[in-house]
């Protein structure tokens, strides 16, 4: 397991590269050019800027999260070919600076969705929270009005240029079914995976968060069987997944341990985090510790260990603790605590395995 940490870039992150470097066992940053709109080719000079910052800090930049997919590709519009060509050019440039994994997602319009970014916990910390009934009761067109009236309602994937076209986007998706989305994903993969293979890069799709349809929009990377279908769309190690335990874990029917065992070898990147799911379908993000949430983090780390996981892993969405001023979910403190918990579990399994194999050696003698 190679530990990495998400970094939003100079001026965009409250956590510095020096701080990241001091978290035990962290070797690299997970990065992106966040100011380049989806669909545009990434400029080489900006890529090189991040490369030189990372080099100076002694961190690698093997993992990019995300090169976002233009909605025309998800909608299957004729203009998709132009955006796919840009995507291929970006892959080639990322390979030049040594990128090994590109994380992306195929969620229409939005990325991850929550109803509260600062939900108060009893201990005074705050967490990201999702109130299911509130989203279910919301008309997407009312939502657009609300966002237009309240600019603070901003989330990842809700870039200003996209918000301006939100009504049109909802209209465009009105007749798009899940099967259409599968077709459009397949088209994208048939074009992109041969290029990724040629550059020795793994394309790792991130599951939908939450893993169900929101605002009537189709969502397809939601379950073990759908991941199986995704991997069969193009049978190559370059067609792979970012296994996010918290995204899939918002649906307790998803057995992440079983997913790790079934898809070993096709998981180059793991997001390991916990959520607590309530009976009514609401969920709140918790510390990484197993006992604090519904996701079996202990079992997940054990499964990665047992399957000989050598990919990249990062903690994800921490709580906001100790009065840290940071991007919701992306503070230093709780994610660094999360890393130490993950290492603790990992090292304990490594020790158990060593002891087990040395006992076997002794019994052979
Ligand atoms: C949230 C992240 C997601 C993720 C994208 C991948 O914190 O896990 O925003 O980066 O969905 O494309």
- Cα four-point dihedral sign 170, 172, 175, 176: negative
pLDDT score, position 162: 64
Please report which helix (H) or strand (E) contains residue 285, including its range: strand 283-285
Query: Closest ligand 1 atom, CA of 316?
Result: 7
Q: Where does residue 82 rank: exposed (0-12), middle (13-18), buried (19+ CB within 10 A)? A: middle
**Closest-CA residue to 63 (of 186, 178, 249, 206):** 206
Count the Cβ atoms, other than its own, within 10 Å of residue 118.
11
With contact defined as beta carbons under 8 Å apart, do 109 and 157 qualify? Answer: yes
Output the DSSP codes for 35-95. Answer: TSPTTSPPPHHHHHHHHHHHHHHT-EEEEEE--PPPHHHHHT-TTHHHHHHHHHHHHHHHH
DSSP state of 217: B
In this predicted structure, what is the pLDDT of residue 362? 75
CA of residue 101 to ligand 1 center, whole Å: 14
Indicate if the pLDDT at residue 157 is higher than 60: no
pLDDT of residue 2: 98
Gap between the Cα atoms of 117 and 155, Å rounded: 9
* Site to substitute for ligand 1 among 111, 203, 210, most atoms within 8 A of C-beta: 111
Domain 2-364 has CATH 3.40.50.620: no
**Domain spans of the chain, in order of start:** 2-364
Taking CB atoms and a 6 Å cutoff, what residues make up the pocket around ligand 1?
Answer: 65-66, 103-105, 111-112, 156, 206, 244, 271, 316-317
Cα(85) to centroid(ligand 1), Å: 23
pTM (two decimals): 0.95
For 207-237, the pLDDT digits (tens) are 999 999 999 999 999 999 999 999 999 999 9
Instruction: Find the 272 Cα to ligand 1 centroid distance in Å.
Output: 12
Best of 117, 203, 206 for a ligand 1 pocket test (most atoms within 8 Å of beta carbon): 206
Which atom of ligand 1 is the closest one to the Cα of 242?
A: 6
- pLDDT at position 159 is 63
Q: What integer is the mean pLDDT of 223-252?
A: 98
DSSP run (H or E) holding 27: strand 26-31
Separation of CA 106 and ligand 1 centre (Å): 11
Provide the token pair at 240: 């792979």
For 108-142, the pLDDT digits (tens) are 998 899 989 999 999 999 999 999 998 888 887 77
Q: How high is the mean pLDDT of the chain?
A: 94
Average pLDDT on 299-321 reads: 97
Find the helix packing angle between 166-173 and 140-149, rounded to 10°.
Answer: 170
DSSP 3-state of 291: helix
Give the distance (Å) from ligand 1 centre to CA of residue 82. 24
């Amino acid at each position: 397991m190679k530990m990495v940490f998400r970094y939003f870039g100079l001026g965009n992150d409250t956590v510095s590269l020096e701080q990241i470097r001091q978290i035990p066992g962290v070797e690299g940053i997970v990065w992106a050019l966040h100011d380049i709109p989806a669909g545009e080719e990434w400029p080489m000079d900006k890529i090189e800027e991040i490369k030189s910052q990372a080099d100076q800090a002694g961190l690698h930049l093997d993992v990019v999260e995300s090169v976002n997919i233009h909605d025309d590709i998800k909608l299957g519009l004729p203009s998709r070919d132009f955006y796919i060509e840009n995507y291929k050019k970006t892959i080639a440039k990322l390979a030049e600076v040594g990128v090994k994994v590109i994380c992306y997602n195929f969620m229409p319009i939005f990325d991850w969705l929550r109803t509260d970014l600062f939900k108060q916990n009893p201990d005074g910390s705050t967490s990201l929270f999702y109130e299911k009934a509130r989203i279910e009761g919301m008309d997407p067109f009312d939502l657009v009005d609300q966002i237009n009236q309240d600019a603070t309602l901003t989330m990842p994937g809700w870039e200003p240029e996209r918000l301006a076209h939100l009504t049109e986007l909802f209209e465009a998706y009105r007749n798009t079914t899940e099967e259409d989305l599968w077709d459009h994903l397949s088209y994208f993969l048939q074009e992109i995976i041969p290029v990724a293979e040629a550059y020795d890069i793994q394309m790792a799709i991130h599951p939908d968060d939450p893993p169900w349809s929101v605002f009537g929009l189709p969502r397809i990377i939601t379950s073990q069987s759908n991941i199986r279908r995704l991997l069969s769309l193009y049978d190559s190690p370059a067609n792979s997944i970012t296994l996010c335990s918290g995204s899939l874990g918002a649906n307790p029917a998803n057995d992440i341990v079983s997913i790790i065992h079934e898809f070993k070898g096709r998981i180059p990147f793991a997001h390991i985090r916990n959520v607590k799911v309530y009976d009514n379908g609401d969920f709140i993000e918790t510390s990484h510790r197993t006992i604090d949430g519904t996701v079996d983090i202990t079992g997940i780390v054990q499964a990665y260990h047992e399957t000989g996981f050598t990919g990249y892993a990062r903690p994800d969405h921490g709580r906001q603790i100790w009065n840290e001023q940071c991007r919701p979910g992306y503070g230093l403190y709780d994610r660094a605590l999360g890393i130490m918990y993950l290492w603790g579990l990992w090292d304990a399994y490594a020790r158990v395995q060593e002891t087990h194999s040395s006992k076997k050696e002794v019994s052979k003698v």
